[in-house]
Structure 1
């Protein structure tokens, strides 16, 4: 029998801040400015889905400049 509950991991704000390596205050500021990762509010509890944190990081991941073997100087 399948569960009817979504079992995605959701982190508290302190846990999410640790995961992203930012301060709790930074996450709170991003939330108030609506510029940070997605989050869920249930009453006064804020939870960050792990997939949303990963999406946030992926959107800010850039490839370094690659050197082609024939173009090195």
Structure 2
């Protein structure tokens, strides 16, 4: 996936393959309406998700995963 911006179904596939985060395209659609998901842009009526840069898919995934922990008792 060399494209800088991905369609919704491609973004879901990218998150699974690169970051191990399984999310359905429908969930990305819901987050686009309610908030909480990665940022997106629109090309006409088509939402596209940037992979790189501030608030891109990679940045969102790192924030979503959080810091590595060695115990469940560690503070969030």
Give the TM-score, by structure 2 length: 0.69
Match 1:65 to one of 65, 70, 73 = 70
Give the TM-score, by structure 1 length: 0.72
- What is the CA–CA distance in structure 1 between the aligned matches of 2:43 and 2:6, rounded to whole Å? 13
Structure 1, residues 9-60: CA drift from partner, whole Å, max 9, x if none? 0000000011123111000001001210010012111100002000111102
Rg larger in 1 or in 2?
1
- Paired residues for 1:47-62 under 5 Å: 47-51=48-52, 52-61=56-65, 62=67
Find the counterpart in structure 2 of residue 70 from structure 1.
none
Query: Aligned to 1:46, what secondary structure does the other structure show?
Result: strand
Question: Deviating runs (4+, > 3 A) in structure 1?
Answer: none
- Unmatched tracts of structure 1, length 5 or more: 1-7, 67-73
Query: Aligned to 2:9, what secondary structure does the other structure show?
Result: helix
Q: Give the root-mean-square deviation of aligned CA atoms.
A: 1.6
The alpha carbon displacement at 1:64 in A equals 2.1
